[in-house]
Amino acid sequence: MNTGLHDIWNLAWKLKLFRDGHGNQQLLDSYSAERLPVIKNVIETTDQLSKVMGTPNKFAQALRDTLIPMVSRLAPFQHAFVERLSELGIAYHGSPIVEGAGKRYFDDSMRGGQGIRNRFLLFLDNQAEPSTKAAANELARSFSAVAELRFSPHRGTTLVRPDGYISYQSHESNTASVEAARSVLRRQTTPSASEERAA
């Protein structure tokens, strides 16, 4: 069930951007690149668990019945199990629309009604240089239909997708990191008229 929910979560925002004229073909194609490996892994894991749980071998059954209760009490196993079951540990490294690890973005700034709201969020260090802030403001203006700028107490530049995964992240807050975020946005969206003029 979680796999299906994550499939919908991954696809819905991409279809919306495309339908509204803000997404491109590469954005749509990224669904297969990101989700098919996850689905394949779920099927393989389910197959392996079915074989372990349904083994007719008496020795394997005794081993299974002894080891599973012992291992399942260990905190690292419980944490890994919950993360795997919830699929919150999934990352989209290698996706054509992600630069970097592609991990889920967890931050307190997303609480209290200030969630993603179906937009890309560009988080910039609130201590960044004025020229960097100006570049970030220009990026947000150019992509105003799909992106929003938010200042953060955390060092660096982070572009978060509408599904909560990181498209781009740098530990630096400078004009180069903002331009790198712009490049990642360009890769998957249809730019506005002002963005096209700037290109």
Threshold 0.85, pTM exceeds: no
DSSP 133: H
Q: What's the rounded Cα separation, in Å, for the pair 82 and 47?
A: 19
pLDDT of residue 199: 52
pLDDT tens for the chain, residues 1 to 199 = 678 888 998 999 999 999 999 999 999 999 999 999 988 988 887 888 788 788 888 887 787 788 778 877 888 877 776 666 667 778 999 999 999 999 999 876 665 555 566 789 999 999 999 999 999 999 999 999 999 999 998 899 999 999 999 999 999 999 999 999 999 999 998 754 444 555 5
What is residue 56's predicted lDDT score, i.e. its pLDDT? 86
Q: What is the pLDDT of residue 150?
A: 93
Q: Which pLDDT does position 195 carry in this prediction?
A: 47
User: What is the residue extent of each domain of the chain?
Assistant: 2-86, 108-198
CATH of domain 108-198: 3.40.30.120
The shares of helix, strand and coil residues in the chain, as percent rounded to the nearest 5, are 55, 15, 30
Name residue, tokens 């992600």.
Answer: 98
Indicate the SS3 state at residue 148. strand
Total residue count of the chain as it appears in this document: 199
